[in-house]
Structure 1
Amino acid sequence: MSLLGRAALGAALTSTAALTIMGAGSAAAASKYYGTLAVSPGTGKVVEATDHPTWVAADAAAIRDCGVYDCQIVVRFSDGCAAVARGADGRFAADSASSRADAERLAVAKLGESAPPFPDLGSASPRAASVVLSSCTKNAS
């Protein structure tokens, strides 16, 4: 190979290495954060696990923190927010969105209005669900 050919090959390899390093740096800067909300239907316990590097880590943390045999993952989210709502009848619903307010609104809307089970010491009139827990990753808007 001629001296000119070697110089061209060296320049090409240097340029490729620089582009690879720059590309890796920008990918690391845009990291994702994952979250999971879990519910125990038997006890009514609701837990969150946010800002984890993977879905698996978020799921494992939520189940561990719940610590109850019947704990179930109800919503997973990344780079955003999620909420769990509970109706007067004891049912749960969850949803996720880009903002906390939207996630809460969507979770409540999934349940609509419900009446408490009979007998109820309060009013038997149907009422809207209420938010039990909402959570956002640290990079949510």
Structure 2
Amino acid sequence: MRNNLARLLFVMAASTSFAILSGPGANASVTYGAISVSDTSGRVATVPSTYPTWQDAANAANTRCGYYDCGYVTVWQTGQCGAAARASNGHWGGAAASTLANAETTAKWNAGQDAVVYARGC
């Protein structure tokens, strides 16, 4: 799970559609949502983009997921959508984009061949 999440976080950080805006000087109207998954149980949890920081959204998604190995797959901000997909080999892929269709397509690409979208949110 940790290797999959580390890979996903690297892909998301490299994505031009993923932005983290927090701290002093950040726009107060920006809010965040997140998707968290558990490899053990297969549980997927989504929280809406109502959280003031990406960390709060990720923590809320992990809590809602409810298992010891829950980890967030993707975080999105106001004006974006996020999606999480899983390939048959167990790899998860996440993405944030300006449209739900783009987030889903990128999440499937990040997960790998034959991936299916399991969660989405805007």
TM-score by length of 2: 0.70
User: What whole-Å deviation, never above 9, does each CA across 1:83-108 have from its counterpart, x for those lacking one?
Assistant: 00011222211111011000000011
In the other structure, the counterpart of 1:36 is: 34
Q: Find the counterpart in structure 1 of residue 70 from structure 2.
A: 71
Give the conservation status (yes or no) of the 8 Å contact 2:93–2:112: no
- For residue 54 of structure 1, report the CA deviation from its aligned partner: 2.0
Q: Residue deviations 1:56-82, cap 9 Å, x none?
A: 321221111011000011111111111
Which secondary structure state, in structure 2, belongs to the residue aligned with residue 84 of structure 1? strand
Structure 1 length-normalised TM? 0.61
**How many Å separate the matches in 2 of 1:84 and 1:56?**
18
Structure 1 residue runs of 5 or longer lacking an equivalent are 1-26, 114-127, 137-141
SS of residue paired to 1:96: strand
**What is the root-mean-square deviation of aligned Cα atoms in Å?**
1.5
- AA of the residue aligned to 1:112: G
Question: Aligned match of 1:131 in 106, 117, 120?
Answer: 117
Paired position in structure 1 for 2:109: 109
Match of 1:8 in 2: none
Distance in 1 (alpha carbons) for counterparts of 2:111 and 2:65: 23
- What letter matches 2:116 in structure 1? S
Q: Mind listing any 5+ residue stretches in structure 2 that lack a counterpart?
A: 1-26
Could you say which residue in structure 2 is the equivalent of 1:94? 94
Rounded to whole Å, the distance in 1 between the matches of 2:108 and 2:72 is: 18
Paired residues in the alignment total 94
Greater per-residue helix proportion: 1
Task: Measure the CA separation in 2 of the matches of 1:61 and 1:41.
Answer: 18
Q: What whole-Å deviation, never above 9, does each CA across 1:27-53 have from its counterpart, x for those lacking one?
A: 66xx11201111111111111112212
What is the distance in 2 between the residues matched to 1:76 and 1:112?
Answer: 19
Q: Which has the higher contact order (CA 8 A, sep 6+)?
A: 2
Q: Which runs of 4+ in 1 moved over 6 A?
A: none
